[in-house]
Structure 1
């Protein structure tokens, strides 16, 4: 009995030693860190651009030193005095995607990136690292943060962008805060924007697991005005002056709609609690994009608006990969010898870490494509063709929201991945 009591006491002491209390390390404020990622296919660099202070912290207050997904990059904050890791987060970036493009072999470019961290009470050391497609760190930057630095830009204290809550389930301490922004809507078109934002919100929460976990979310529509109506389409010679300067033809792909003006996004949102971002573009041209822990950007007036905004949010919020394939050649983003960090595709290098436990006994691997509904949406297996390549990368079901717009739902594997992520953010 005495040994048992000693063991239990030691266990409690260990738990206490490693448990992190948010209030011990952080103010109820946000530190926005702006970086410039630069380079080409052969060499990457990171430069610190600006630090900003926002009046409230809307992120998680537990699991502070953990990351739920690997991403293509990682930020680690340490207490300067002790060296203790006090916060970690992961992300992907448009820059890292561009590095895999042919253009990166012949020109150097720079991309804006902004990240939200809890505001430290004491001096901290922040390291941002970019990973290559083999999940190895390709470059990193370490810098110090003095919370009393007078040059930290105070934002969000005045001139807050007009906004309206579409869903308010609780406080930012308890809920995940999603901001839906206007892009290409003039001041006179904001009634249309609010209507489109409600449509996007309704579409998202018609899908599981968002539907059953709706009470863990707040959604705010932010009426960021544009000078011009619509968005830029360089392929047609159309350039517009809009809130976040988005445009089609990203990487010369007609349907790829993104923006490299990431600081503009966050400037519009300053003073409003937010963690994840959906940007609605006022156009009926088909397209969009979603980048993990960065933003979703999609068109609001195409007939496929509802499934596309949900699909892209699967990328930006859930870190889910595209499950479609269009080439026989390997994708430069997914080498066959590496297990992707995204939870809904696999190279079979480390399938144990994915959905192997969800496959019925005696299911062949690879799995023949299902042909009968509803099996094409629900029969979990290992179906070849995902991550843009038809060979060597596998998806969980025949058809899913992360593969085609016609799929009625996320597949069981994607649903589980999303639910785990939501619980990571909201549960102690």
Structure 2
């Protein structure tokens, strides 16, 4: 199919999808604001309110979020009566940066956005923050009148056209995933589409996405860049791009994010979306994911399938990292509060572990596993990994190391008594002690291929929130 034919097909499907729900659907309001501060304080300030080009993609029958996920929560209420109209949990790049050492020395500002359906009255938007009691309290509120004269109502032409990857129905009844590309030149656009089809296709081979594939629409959109690949400062590579995605975020060589939220939202608004994954046109291992914001993955790496799914688990369902031997920018506070993430626990009361329904009678909590052997091996493995990066060795050598690592861990765990059990295995959330994961292995722990049952539940909860429960579901 020619490029023109693909674009015409994309426009036709996009128009049809929009027309199917344009009449009853409200407009999409976006509140852009600055979130600034340091480890001890934070402030908010309005930048602008705008009406996005496309109608609200969500189901107006499912406007309240009861999943209790995220470091933050947005609530939209009637400005006069206080009646709650809409809510969603989310996390932020600011919250991650706040946990780094730099936040103890300087203040920084981060651009953020919240999107919500337009209501027929002025509203009060509240940003809530999870406190030390694991409860939400109001951090900031602002009144928004979408009919006000200073609201931005017109947008420039789309910088690129969305490509339909899979369209299973009108957006309000589906989860809309938008895959953005960064570091793809005009000559790379066909590669971008192929990358999206390959990686999104893989996502729907992994449970529970596999069983719920018909509940998703997938769109792709890339603004061409002048050079292939994205910025990687640690190696002196700097490439301009519309999204500004780069490696080395917060000093972690494998952490890939964009810190330009305004650019991200200004591009994404031209396709229906509730979730975003950014594919970067690089073969260097890397990715990242922020719950309710976006995730990233290096599309040309040998481990791209794993990166795409693992990072999407963070963004889509708020799943925590279960590994703890790899270096991260995060600074431990020493405290062990019960995490909000569904797949890790501080195990303060084993009798009430949050995934109790999956724990078979007789499984000890905490659950024994070959922790000492694993950690002894991991110390040597991490030294070899760091040496490869320090010497800027070919990526093929890093990929080979990862294959050897997974094979070693599989062999070690194969002999463990509770290999297939759901329990409470100490070591998770970047900490060797005090946090526990539900399974010995899971795609959130290592480069294995499956989510454990607890993570599958966490994902299913979010699919249900946006697309409604599946028939014959759990």
| TM-score normalised to structure 1 length | 0.88
How many residues get paired?
402
Equivalent runs, 1:156-235 vs 2, <5 Å: 158-159=157-158, 161-235=160-234
Q: CA 1:415/1:136 → structure 2, altered by over 3 Å: closer, same or farther?
A: closer
| Contact 2:64–2:87 (CA under 8 A) maintained in structure 1 | yes
Alpha-carbon distance in structure 1 between the residues aligned to 2:442 and 2:184: 32
1:153 match: secondary structure: coil
Tell me the equivalent position of 2:437.
395
Q: CA 1:213/1:361 → structure 2, altered by over 3 Å: closer, same or farther?
A: same
> 1:393-417 CA distances to partner (integer Å, 9 max, x unpaired)?
0001111000111x12101111111
| Contact 1:328–1:391 (CA under 8 A) maintained in structure 2 | no
Q: CA 1:328/1:33 → structure 2, altered by over 3 Å: closer, same or farther?
A: closer
1:414 paired to 2:414? no
1:396 match: secondary structure: strand
Q: Which runs of 5+ in 2 are unaligned?
A: 1-20, 371-412, 470-474
1:361 paired to 2:361? yes
Tell me the equivalent position of 2:317.
318
2:422 match: secondary structure: coil
- Computed over aligned residues only, the root mean square deviation of the Cα atoms, in angstroms, reads 2.4
Equivalent runs, 1:339-350 vs 2, <5 Å: 339-349=338-348
Moved more, 375-384 or 98-107: 375-384
> 1:222-244 CA distances to partner (integer Å, 9 max, x unpaired)?
12222322111111121110121
2:63 match: secondary structure: coil
| Contact 1:46–1:139 (CA under 8 A) maintained in structure 2 | no
Shift of 1:161: 2.4
Shift of 1:81: 2.6
Q: 1:29 aligned to 27, 30, 41, which one?
A: 27
Moved more, 136-145 or 273-282: 136-145
Tell me the equivalent position of 1:72.
71
| Contact 1:38–1:111 (CA under 8 A) maintained in structure 2 | yes
Alpha-carbon distance in structure 2 between the residues aligned to 1:328 and 1:195: 33
Shift of 1:292: 0.1
Q: Which has the higher helix share?
A: 2
Q: CA 1:175/1:375 → structure 2, altered by over 3 Å: closer, same or farther?
A: farther
Alpha-carbon distance in structure 1 between the residues aligned to 2:64 and 2:305: 35
Q: CA 1:172/1:318 → structure 2, altered by over 3 Å: closer, same or farther?
A: same
> 1:92-150 CA distances to partner (integer Å, 9 max, x unpaired)?
11111111111011111011112221112111111113335653568722111112112
Moved more, 88-97 or 351-360: 351-360
1:120 paired to 2:119? yes
> 1:211-270 CA distances to partner (integer Å, 9 max, x unpaired)?
010110000011222232211111112111012111111111111111110111111122
1:325 match: secondary structure: coil
| Contact 1:336–1:393 (CA under 8 A) maintained in structure 2 | no
2:127 match: secondary structure: strand
Tell me the equivalent position of 1:423.
464
Equivalent runs, 1:277-288 vs 2, <5 Å: 277-288=276-287
Shift of 1:288: 0.7
Alpha-carbon distance in structure 2 between the residues aligned to 1:363 and 1:419: 25
> Which 4+ runs in 1 deviate beyond 6 A?
373-377
Shift of 1:354: 1.6
Alpha-carbon distance in structure 1 between the residues aligned to 2:436 and 2:248: 28
Moved more, 394-403 or 151-160: 151-160
Q: CA 1:133/1:323 → structure 2, altered by over 3 Å: closer, same or farther?
A: farther
Equivalent runs, 1:95-106 vs 2, <5 Å: 95-106=94-105
Moved more, 225-234 or 214-223: 225-234
2:118 match: secondary structure: strand
Q: CA 1:240/1:254 → structure 2, altered by over 3 Å: closer, same or farther?
A: same
Equivalent runs, 1:10-29 vs 2, <5 Å: 28-29=26-27
Moved more, 107-116 or 347-356: 347-356
Q: Which runs of 5+ in 1 are unaligned?
A: 1-22
| Contact 1:282–1:300 (CA under 8 A) maintained in structure 2 | yes
Q: CA 1:401/1:327 → structure 2, altered by over 3 Å: closer, same or farther?
A: closer
| Contact 1:34–1:113 (CA under 8 A) maintained in structure 2 | yes
| TM-score normalised to structure 2 length | 0.80
